Structure formats: C-alpha cells, structure tokens
Amino acid sequence: MFEKVLIANRGEIALRILRACREMGIQTVAVHSTADEHAMHVRLADESICIGGPSPADSYLNIPNIIAACEITGAEAVHPGYGFLSENQRFAHIVEAHGISFIGPTAEHIGLMGDKITAKMTAEKLGIPTVPGSDGEVTDLETARSESARIGFPLIIKAAAGGGGRGMKVVHDKNGLEEAFTTARREAQMAFGNGAVYMERYLQKPRHIEIQVVGDGKGTGIHLGERDCSLQRRHQKILEEAPSICLNSDERERIGSICAKAIAELNYRGVGTIEFLYEDGAFYFIEMNTRLQVEHPVTEAIYNIDLVKEQIRIAAGLGISFTQDELCMSGHAIECRINAEDPFNLRPSPGHVNGFHPAGGYGVRVDSALYSGYDVPPYYDSLIAKLIVHGKTRNECLLRLNRCLHEFVVSGISTNISLFDEILKNQDFQNGQYDIHWLTKFLEERGVGLQ
Ligand code: MV4
C-alpha cells in the first residue's frame, strides 16, 4: 500500500479522500492555492504545499507545480478528485511518467472516453446500447443531410470534444440543418480546438440514469447499480438518488451486467460512470465519466461500500475488495448539493460564513469542508456541502431529508437550502415523476433564475 498520497483537489472532495487515507494508514499531502491557505483540507492533511494563485489555471490545474509538490513531499500517488485535472489525459500520463501512481484509470482510457465519438464507438463494440445516429463523425453537409434523413427529426448535433452539455445543438427540421451543422462545427473548433461533430436522434423526455462501475484493470468488472441524476439545471445536478424509481431489479441486473462486462473486456482500471438517457423503458449510452463523481455517496450508502478506498486499493495493485455476488443493495439514498448561491437569481454567493450547523442523526451523512468563520472564496465551484440521507424506503428518505433541511444552518451567505424544501413539497417529485427538463420548468414557474 502507498505510504503517502497527494490530493490534487480542494473542498469537500479533498476531505473525502483525506478521510479514506487516514483510515487506511496513509499519510496525506494537501495542495492549495493562495486563496485556500485557511481551507479545511489544508488543516486536516499531514502536510500541505501552496501551488499557486487563486485562479484554478495557476494552482489546481498547474501540472508542473503539482508534480513538484509530489517530488518535494515524496508522495507515491496522486488522487485527482473530480473536476480540475481528474479527466485530463495529459496529467494522468505525466504523473505516471514521473513514477507516481495516478489514482484513476489509465491515460489511454481517459483519452478514449474524452472523445465522445470514440467513446460511443467503443460502447457499441462492447454491446452497450447507444442512441441511434450517425456512423461516427459527420464531416460535410452532404453527409449531414443524408444522415438526417436516416435519423429523422428532431436530432441533436454534438461535438466529439464536448460532453457534460457543452457543444450541443438540437435541430427540429431539415430547414435548420445547414445553419446548425456549420455553426456546430465552427463553435466546436473554437471552443475545443477540435471541430469534429456527430449526430443522434434527439430524445425529448428522457431521464438521466448512470451506472456506477469498478474495474481492477485486469479483467474484473463490477457494477453498483444506478443513480438517477435527472434533477439538474443547465447541466448542474442538484439532487441525485439511488436506486431510480424506474427500474426493477431485473432491469438493473440487465443493464448493470452489460456495463460490468464491458468494463471487464476493456481492462478498465478504477471507478467510472456509464451515463445513459432512459426513455420508454430503454437505455441509450451518452458518455462515460472516468472519475469519481460528486454523487458517489448515494451508491456508497445503498451498497455499504467505500468507493474511495477501492480506488486507492486498485491503484496500489491490491484489486477490488468485493465481488459482484457479495454486493447487496439496501434501502434508498438521496443527495442534495448545497450551494453558496442566491436562491432567487441562482448566482454564486461567496462570503463570510458566521454560522454552520450541519444536520446529523440516524441515516445522515454530510460531506463538507465548511466551518464557522470560513470565507467561501469566489474562485471555485459554489458547492459547499453534500447532504446524503439513507433510509429503508424512498419515503423514509423523503421524511429524513425534510427533517435534515430544517436542522441545517448556514448563516452569513445565501444558499439553495430553501429550494430543496420546495422540491420536497412537490407532488411530481414525491411520486418520482421527473425527467431532465423538470427542474428547469419548476424554477421557471417560480420566476427563479431569470435575471
Ligand atoms: C442528449 C439529449 C437528448 N437526445 N442526446 C446533455 C449532456 C450530455 N451528457 C448529453 N446531453 C443530452 N444528450 C440525445 N440524443 C439530451 C441531453 C440533455 C441532458 C442529458 C442529461 C442530463 C441533462 C440534460 C439536459 C439537457 C439535455
């Protein structure tokens, strides 16, 4: 096992990784920007090193400084967390070229899934159902026209280098095709330095369901069911739950084993998420994320598994600590992402926290790097806490969540806590009847976020 791990991240996820390391007897190195001198991850780590200025480009994305921090401290492995460098193929490669272990997939697998065209072709080869669409890249207008006739309208044009909602255009009829195709290519070239685009049938009311997978890099692939992440606005998820109310155990086993087999065949190493759109009982692959996700705790809750410890074990060559047959899903879990944001205009609201009282009690987990007296800096993501509740049933979860939201206090800055109260009171949400567009409409009806 590693003796020392460097955590190339900040905030709640840096604490999440620190905690796993401490329980495994591993020394930790925190890196931080000048703006994060007083951050909790710096206080809790065994050692810390400043790697640059407040702007992410100068610190948390600064590869030479992070490598230097590893060399100075003698860290044997780097955990990238999520965001920042977590899905950067070049970073994973450079880390390993310095003889340091990257706690994540190989640079090759990150690159394969980072290009959405090669990701989709790989998924198809592995027997994962995908959205009907073009055969790879569409390079010219003639092909766009002929493919659109095959696919039908509405269709969606996506950038190969996009993902997570960036670089997409919906086309409703053939009159809109030429304009959408030429601008999609031009914008993709401008935004990503890669103009490649592909086309798919546009699914109008899907849910966003993702399958958690784990691989040992040596032919073992395991799935840990799904998370329903449909509650989002502008591709920012705000609430995730597991299991999804749409799947019974046969459907879960079916899509789960397809994913597990694919991970085994790929010799995928580490944790990952295979994202699907789900409509009318069918799954359609859209992307694969090669990182630990923000919402991983809901899976941990219902499977009683520590995914970060598994990541570290796998990177150290010790393999996965459980088999598919040993996994047992139990109960229901919901995560709320508590953000420092104005509840009316949804803009970030950093500033001084003068009171912090997280919820607690039976079935409750709060992952947060906040403390009373902390100043939330304006340079980073506005996520300040994740509230995760676990219960025997979804209904028990909803009751527990309601209790927690009334206990939770963050004072001095604005948060979206009251928004979760509103969502919880809604009948559609209580019934689990929501698709990827539900939250946007819910907020629009309340005049939220219109400025
Ligand atoms: C789609 C789609 C409908 N049809 N693809 C957005 C993020 C990226 N991961 C893929 N996305 C979508 N792809 C087809 N063929 C609708 C979306 C989409 C979406 C997907 C998941 C969660 C939220 C979303 C919000 C808007 C659009």
Express each pLDDT in 14-27 by its tens digit: 999 999 999 999 99
419-429 per-position pLDDT tens digit: 999 999 999 99
**CA 157/CA 136 separation, integer angstroms:** 12
Q: Which atom of ligand 1 is nearest to the CA of 200?
A: 15
Q: Does the active-site annotation cover 166? A: no
pLDDT score recorded for residue 74: 98
Question: Ligand 1 within 6 A of 208 CB?
Answer: yes
Q: Is the pLDDT of residue 438 over 70?
A: yes
Residue 436 CB–ligand 1 contact under 6 Å:
yes
What's the confidence (pLDDT) of residue 197?
Answer: 98
User: 351 C-alpha to center of ligand 1: Å?
Assistant: 33
- Percent share of the chain, pLDDT over 90: 98
Stretch 146-157: mean pLDDT:
98
166 Cα: distance to centroid of ligand 1 (angstroms): 10
Q: What is the pTM of this model?
A: 0.98
What's the confidence (pLDDT) of residue 347? 96
pLDDT value, residue 53 = 98
pLDDT digits (tens, 9 = 90+) for 3-15: 999 999 999 999 9
Would you state the pLDDT for residue 449?
86
What is the arithmetic mean of pLDDT over 220-230? 98
Q: 407 falls in which pLDDT band (50, 70, 90)?
A: very high
Residue 406: pLDDT over 80: yes
199 lines ligand 1 (CB under 6 A): no
Instruction: Give the distance (Å) from ligand 1 centre to CA of residue 57.
Output: 28
Cβ(156) – ligand 1 distance below 6 Å? yes
CB of 132 sitting under 6 A from ligand 1: no
Cis peptide before 154 (omega within 30 of 0): yes
Return the best residue to mutate from 169, 202, 231, 235 for the ligand 1 pocket (most ligand atoms within 8 A of CB): 235
Whole-angstrom distance, CA of residue 314 vs CA of residue 214: 9
Mean pLDDT of the chain: 97
Residue 91 phi, psi dihedral angles, 5° rounding: -65, -50
> pLDDT-derived band of residue 163, with 50, 70 and 90 as boundaries?
confident
User: Would the pLDDT of 142 be above 80?
Assistant: yes
CA proximity to 359, closest of 408, 294, 426, 419: 408
Angle between helices 107-114 and 116-125 (to 10 degrees): 100
Residue 381 pLDDT exceeds 90: yes
Question: Would the CB of 289 count as within 6 Å of ligand 1?
Answer: no
* Beta carbon of 202 within 6 Å of any ligand 1 atom: yes
Q: Which tens digits make up the pLDDT trace of 325-371?
A: 999 999 999 999 999 999 999 999 999 999 999 999 999 999 999 99
Instruction: Assess whether the C-beta atom of 181 lies below 6 angstroms from ligand 1.
Output: no
Residue 30: the pLDDT is: 99
Q: Is residue 451 predicted with pLDDT exceeding 70?
A: no
Average pLDDT over residues 246-255: 98
pLDDT band at 293 (very low <50, low <70, confident <90, very high): very high
User: How large is the average pLDDT for residues 392-404?
Assistant: 98
Distances 3 to 57, 76, 77, 316, 320 between C-alpha atoms, Å:
29, 7, 9, 10, 19
Ligand 1 centre from 104 Cα, in Å? 25
Of 45, 69, 44, 73, which Cα lies nearest the Cα of 59?
69
Catalytic residue among 207, 291, 313, 400: 291
* pLDDT of 245: 97
Q: What is the atom index within ligand 1 of the atom nearest the CA of 165?
A: 7
**155-163/197-201 β-pairing:** antiparallel
Question: Average pLDDT in the 90-106 region?
Answer: 98
Q: What is the per-residue pLDDT for 86? A: 98
Contacts of 37 (CB under 8 A, 6+ apart): 50
pLDDT at residue 450 greater than cutoff 80? no
In the reported structure, the alpha carbon of residue 117 is separated from the centroid of ligand 1 by a whole-number distance in angstroms of 15
**In the predicted structure, residue 308 carries a pLDDT above the cut 80:** yes
Q: Hey, whose CA ends up nearest to atom 6 of ligand 1?
A: 165
